[in-house]
Amino acid sequence: MKRIAWLFLLVLGSVSLMYAQSATTTMDMSGTICRSTCIVQVDNRNTCNTGCIDNESAAVLVDDQGNIHQIAAEDQPMCESHMNKHVKVKMQPVQSEDQRERQFRIIQWGANPAG
């Protein structure tokens, strides 16, 4: 009976650890949706050049701290209407298909923060 109890606890613990590792967190971020080729450095910080006319490169989020976040390919079309706008989004990190870069899925658009 003791062995069964220990085995049950071991299985339960393993399942809990596997679930915790597979659960991904969401993050609230605010910044500007921008084309990747339209990013410029201003005072050693990445910002979006809103006068840039490129319509071909991928959309990225330049957050309020100047960090660049890649947006997953399946979310690119929904970014078109928000291009060069300051937005608040809820994002979830995912690995890209080739597993070389970290990308984010947009989970929810929020109200546009002041600014």
Per-residue pLDDT averaged across 78-86, rounded?
92
pLDDT digits (tens, 9 = 90+) for 52-76: 888 889 999 999 999 999 999 899 9
CA Rg value for the chain: 20
Q: Does residue 84 lie in a domain region? A: yes
Residue 44 region, left (φ>0) first, then alpha (ψ -120 to 50), else beta?
left
Q: What's the structural domain count of the chain?
A: 1
Question: Residue 96: what pLDDT?
Answer: 57
Amino acid at 45: R
Q: Does residue 59 lie in a domain region? A: yes
Question: Residue 50: what pLDDT?
Answer: 83
Q: Does residue 46 lie in a domain region? A: yes
For residue 95, give its domain range: 25-109
pLDDT digits (tens, 9 = 90+) for 16-43: 545 444 445 888 899 999 999 999 999 9
